[in-house]
Structures are given as C-alpha cells and as structure tokens.
Structure 1
Amino acid sequence: VLKIADGDEFNGEWKDGKQDGKGVFKWADCSVYDGEWKVGKQHGKGVLKIADGSGYDGEWKDGKRNGKGVLKIADGDEFNGEWKDGKQDGKGVFKWADCSVYDGEWKVGKQHGKGVLKIA
C-alpha cells in the first residue's frame, strides 16, 4: 500500500516503480478507481466511482476512457457506448435525467452522424 501525503492511497500491483496489473486507487475526496493498470495509468477494465455519485464502468487506455463503457453522472444523465481518448466516439446511447434519449453515432464527444433523438 502506497499512502501519499495528500491522503491519496494505492493498493495493488507494481512493475518498475509504477502501478501495473490490478489495483485500487483511493483519492482523499473518497473517489475510487478499482481496476487494471499499465505503466502507472488506468488501462484495461476498471470502475471509477466519484465522490459526487458519478462514475464510469468500462474499458480504459492510457488513463482515459477507451472502448466500451457506461458513464453515470450524479444529476441522473447516463451514456452507454463507445469511447476514444476519453470522449464519446462511435455508437452510443445518451439518456438525460428528464428521460430524453439520443441513440446514435458520436465523434469526439459530440453527436455526429446518424442518430435518433427523442425528447421527453
């Protein structure tokens, strides 16, 4: 277990002085990432739970959301779909807290291409 002066903590596997393999990182604000690491960054499958109630469950690459995953935002919004470099990219469904839904294509975090928007 590595405890950092600011209250952060890492408990897991190491390689060459960096997080590598499975591990849990806890921030001082009580946010937690539990998953796979590579060369000190989130990489592979993992779950991030933010102190405000938001969270992400899915795939990571080089410390960013990458691949398939579900992002839940504390206000009730949710995105389930594909990610690239930390942004929605590919196919995905965004549900707003008011029950409006966009089901379609995304590029660099924005609706782009074919899709259907249903307003509640």
Structure 2
Amino acid sequence: MLVHGTKDFENGDTYDGELVRNRADKLVPNGRGVMQYACGDRYEGGWHDGLRHGDGVLTVKRTGRRLSGRFAAGALPKQGELRLPGARLYRGALHDGLPHGVGCFEWQQQGDMYRGCFENGRRNGQGTLSWADTKESYSGSWTDDEPFGTGDCHYRYAKGERYEGGWDNGRHGDGAMRYPDGRIVRGKFQRDALPRIGCVIMPSGEKYEGPLQDGQPCGQQASYSWPQYKVTYRGAMCAGRPHGQGRCDWPAEGLQYVGQVSKDDIGLRVARARALLE
C-alpha cells in the first residue's frame, strides 16, 4: 500500500514522496517523489521498489547539468533532454548521461545549433552546425568535436556562396565554390585558400581551365570551352577570355583551326569559318 511521507537515509540522502513496504518490510520510494542526495544532487520523478523508474529529472550539483527523460530500474535515460550551464540544451539519444547517437545541440543565447551524431558527449560522425549571426552552416563529418570533411562536406556562407568538398579546419582538398551569380570554381583548395589552378564554369555553361587568382581566370595560356558551340580553345588568354594565338577544336565535326582568335563570339565564328575553308 502506497503512503506519502519523508525518509532520511543513513548516507545522508533525504526522500519526500510516495513510499511502499518492500519484501524486507522496509519503506522504499515507489511512485512519485523527490530525492535530495547528500552530495547535492536532486532527482524528482518516478520510482519503483527504491529505484528511479519512469519520467524524471536529475540535477547534478557539481556540473550544473539537468537530465530529464525516462529512467528504467535505476538506469539513466537512453533518450531525453540535457540542459547544461551557459544556456546550452541537448535533445536526443543518450548514454551514461551524455549525448551519444543522433541528437540536436543548441547554444540558446547565440542561437547556434548542431544536428547530427555524437559519441560520448562529443560530435563524431555526420552533422550540421549552423551559426545564427552569420547565417553560415557547415555540414559534413566531425572528429572529436572538430569539423573534418572528407569530400562530402557543405559550407553555406552569409552572402549565399556554397562550398562542397574536402575540409580540414577550413576548405582543404578537392572542392567547388558555388556563387549566387551562378559561377562555379572547382579545384584543389589549400588551408581555406581558393585554388591557384582549376576551372571556372560560367552561368552560360562556358568553362575556363587554367591558372586562377582569387577565384578568377588569370592565365595567359589556358583552355576555354563553349558547350553551345561544341568547341574547345587552347591558347593565349586576355581578361579570362580567349584572345590571341591558339587552337580551336570542333570534335563533333572533326574541324580544327590554329591561328588568331578574338575574345568575342564573332571572333569564334570567324575561326570556325576559316576552319571550314581549310
């Protein structure tokens, strides 16, 4: 039979709530109640036969953590909510009171948020971190709380740029930057710096391949292709466009032209006409 009362334990713990007599004829917590532990911790919630059981909240004095969820026969919740000092909140899978598995971690004062995998309280595996102030986000793999992309990470910048590729404390390895105007810069990034050699794909589909500076074509010798004309150019460049001595190839037609090419479409048509005459 349940009774309501208080009980002081020999170790200094104090309980206030529902009690029942067990097989040893001792009153033990059973039902709903609050246990104030001698160490300063506090538990409020369900009990069964002297053990924490059912929905409850455990507050740990030493760390300031507040764990809520469904306790089972004294064991900590496997799924629940963990509040930490500094207005930090975690919701998701748990193991031994730590984030473990898939969950969501919020820095409530800043508005930042991480969604993804955890292992023993640290970000490990795939996940996405979003920054509220800059509207930027990183999505990719994590190792011991640090982002470490392996070719499938995504970073979205405040001005709308998007990066996809390798990551090691910044853009590092093969990757691509996509800009709001439709341009795409591909190449090998080094310590967050843009590629020095790579390709730029224009919104029209035209593609430049060669030396780059700050994501812009800068080579005096490079390759350029026009998908609409099915032609590829290799040779001298000016302001990122074919201009000067070079070679044009129309593979589908078996045509080739070697000579002077201007950087506008008219010059390209002239080159093709000359190739037809040769």
Instruction: Give the structure 2 partner of residue 70 of structure 1.
Output: 128
Instruction: Give the structure 2 partner of residue 43 of structure 1.
Output: 100
* Cα-to-partner distance string for 1:91-110 (whole Å, 9 max, x where unaligned): 20111111122110113x33
Instruction: Give the structure 1 partner of residue 145 of structure 2.
Output: 86
1:112 aligns with 2:172: yes
**How high is the TM-score relative to the length of structure 2?**
0.38
Higher Cα Rg: structure 1 or 2? Answer: 2
Long gaps (5+) in structure 1? none
Instruction: Give the structure 1 partner of residue 191 of structure 2.
Output: none
Alignment of 1:7-26 (within 5 A): 8-13=65-70, 19=76, 21-26=78-83
Distance 1:44 1:110 in 2: 25
Identity %: 28
- 2:67, 2:97 within 8 Å by CA — same for their partners in 1? no
The 1:66/1:28 distance shift into structure 2, 3 A limit, reads closer
- How much does 1:24 deviate? 0.5
Long gaps (5+) in structure 2? 1-56, 181-278
Give the number of the structure whose residues are more often helix, by fraction. 2
- Across the aligned residues of Structure 1 and Structure 2, the Cα RMSD in angstroms comes to 2.6
- The aligned amino acid for 1:85 is D
Give the number of the structure whose residues are more often strand, by fraction. 1
Higher relative contact order (CA 8 A, sep 6+): 1
Instruction: Give the structure 1 partner of residue 35 of structure 2.
Output: none
Distance 1:21 1:88 in 2: 26
SS at match of 1:97: coil
* Cα-to-partner distance string for 1:74-105 (whole Å, 9 max, x where unaligned): 22111112222212222201111111221101
The 1:114/1:63 distance shift into structure 2, 3 A limit, reads same
SS at match of 2:111: coil
Distance 1:12 1:42 in 2: 13
